Structure 1
Amino acid sequence: MKRIFNGLLRRAPMDKDGVARIAARQIYILPTSIGMLYATTVFVMLLGSLNYQNNIGLLFAFFMASVGLVAMHHCWYNLLGLAISVRSGPAVFDGAAALFEVTLSNERSHARYDLRLKGGLDASTPVALDAHDQRGIAFAQPTSRRGLLWLTDLEVETRHPMHLFRAWCYARGQASVLVYPRPAVAAPSPVQSSGDTHRPAARTGEGADDYIGSREYRSGDSTRHLDWKAFARERGLVVKQFGGDDGLEVWIDWRALSTPDPEERIRLLTRQVLDAGAANLRFGMRLPGTEIGLASGADQMQHCLRELALFDDGQTKAPSH
């Protein structure tokens, strides 16, 4: 029933510039609880004045009714012609808040007051726009799965003036935020192979080996290799792993993991990517049907994380309306 009702709602579409402008028939308005109390008071005053033939009471009741009608018109007019645009925010990991940038623009010569965004994680602060003014607002949405999180419907409301009525409208958007998989606490060592590139001669002494990743602590492991920073971030006891071969290259391989759950396997691969990126290793990634060549740096890490976020996922296309 709710799905059918949502399908009947009128939404302001985005134009070719990515801006939705609110038209008259796209604004909904209803009295608030304060407005209902106000209307009840006016009705009781009207009945009492008619019963006792009190002209002053009738005058005051009609005056209050007129104020209510004017407030309803101004509440509706406060949204009319409002321009709304939505921009995508940076990629986040599953479980973190995804941020969108919503811009409210006032294209008329009169100010707008008490504009609020609805549906976000944080309570929306009222926004006032002067004539021909605009304001950018950070709009946070929860994440519950990897892939693309689309913001297709944005609700804006106002209760100006007097909070007797609530007017609201919907804007249709096409913005999305990439949600990376939530990384596992620790992961097995990635596959190592001798690379073609030559590295400088091996150094000797403590700290000469290359960091190649981390894994869960096992009984008998040296406490010198414990990752205390990971422990402080409540990831549990994690052991740093090192390798000293010249030209060592790391492959993060889907087939090297035996975990039957695909989502858990992706979480393990995500942890391996993050560890390899943090160690500035030269690494590549192999997924069914996809192979990312050996490279290093932030771009390589982001490339791998994006492939993991969208791997075998149906969220790469915007939802149809």
Structure 2
Amino acid sequence: MSDAGGALGGRIERRVARWVRPRAPEPLPVQFDRRRIYVLPTGFGLFFAALIAAMLLGALNYNNNPALMLALLLAGAAHTGLFAAHLQLSGLRVVSIGADPVGAGRPLQLRIHVRADPGRERRGLRIACGGHATFFSLQQGSGEATIELPTERRGWLEPERLRISTTRPLGLVVAWSYVWPERPLLVYPAPETQGPPLPEGGGDRAIARMHPAGDDVHHLRSYRRGDSRRAIAWKPSARRDELLVREYEQPLGADIDLDWRALAALPYEARIRRLARWVDEAERDGRRYRLILPGQPALGPAQGAAHRHACLKALALMPEARGHG
């Protein structure tokens, strides 16, 4: 009976969800008041209601006052639980959402920050988005939930409505509310898994980086776990009575041009994936690079987290392949 009641409650909730707000994205922050919170019985709640109804009928039929009092006490407790579940959500504020961009195909960690007045304890709250859910509680009136969302395509990801719900304290009813944040999330293009190395750098200003294998010995340093045995300087290590490792200086070109036009032989999306991989490789190597895309001003030359984000964002927001070459 409990499973049948749960299915019935789920069907009722889905019908109600078509008419509840919000029906369009809305700016944050959003606060839940009595007009935004909805309450329905759970499967266990429907079974409990049927049980109380049977107890009342039996008590009235046999004029059993103790049974009648027990049924009324249980009904009062259920009624109080309904208000308690409603108060769990009343006054909640969804303050902000955010996520660090990831490459398409990798899960996006969506962070939802929720606040409320610190006077009331709120635990066991469930937040769901697009079939993915997690539980969280508010400590001192503030809390953060993280939901893992799958990504498939580069560009802006519009999150679905967030559903915050609770079945506390008795599990007889579920209280829930919706919020639809007006905040798209950025998904970077998936970098190419294998391909040619970075193009040669140009410009007059040469830079160098430390590398385990290079052309010129730059200095000796203490051994660190994971260093290659070939890089150990055995004679200096014997004199110093400690393991020393050679660090080489490897000259690199100053600036790299990551030019869209130079990849004309590749398909449209393959160009984007290769440029995304080159951006990451240039950052790992500490290289300055310039990204040149059609119809946009060149980005750089520069390096660093902000420049990487600007380049990957420009690649992520490139128009769809149709009509472009």
The reply to whether TM is greater than 0.5 is: yes
1:86 matched to 2:92: no
1:266 to 272, 287, 303: 272
Alpha-carbon offset, residue 73 of structure 1: 1.6
C-alpha spacing 1:28/1:4, structure 2 compared with 1 (3 Å)? closer
* % same residue: 29
1:312 to 279, 303, 319: 319
1:280 matched to 2:274: no
| Structure 1, unaligned runs of 5 or more | 210-243, 314-321
C-alpha spacing 1:247/1:168, structure 2 compared with 1 (3 Å)? closer
The question of whether the paired residues in 2 share the 8 Å contact of 1:187 and 1:272 is answered with no
Alpha-carbon offset, residue 289 of structure 1: 0.9
Number of residue-to-residue matches in the alignment:
271
Partner Cα separation in structure 1 for residue 207 and residue 108 of structure 2: 43
Could you tell me the TM-score, scaled by structure 1's length?
0.72
Alpha-carbon offset, residue 291 of structure 1: 4.0
Alpha-carbon offset, residue 307 of structure 1: 0.8
Larger mean Cα displacement after TM superposition, 29-38 or 7-16: 7-16
Question: 1:1-321 alignment to 2 at 5 Å?
Answer: 8-11=19-22, 18-107=28-117, 109-119=119-129, 124-129=134-139, 133-151=141-159, 153-189=161-197, 191-192=199-200, 194-195=202-203, 197-199=204-206, 207-208=214-215, 249-258=255-264, 261-298=267-304, 299-312=306-319
Aligned partner letter, 1:11: P
Could you tell me the TM-score, scaled by structure 2's length?
0.71
3-state SS in 2 of match to 1:305: helix
Partner Cα separation in structure 2 for residue 76 and residue 100 of structure 1: 26
3-state SS in 1 of match to 2:152: coil
Alpha-carbon offset, residue 191 of structure 1: 5.0
| Structure 2, unaligned runs of 5 or more | 1-13, 217-249, 321-325
2:247 maps to which residue?
none
Aligned partner letter, 1:159: T
Partner Cα separation in structure 2 for residue 38 and residue 174 of structure 1: 40
Alpha-carbon offset, residue 112 of structure 1: 2.8
Larger mean Cα displacement after TM superposition, 83-92 or 29-38: 83-92
Alpha-carbon offset, residue 13 of structure 1: 9.5
Partner Cα separation in structure 1 for residue 297 and residue 120 of structure 2: 57
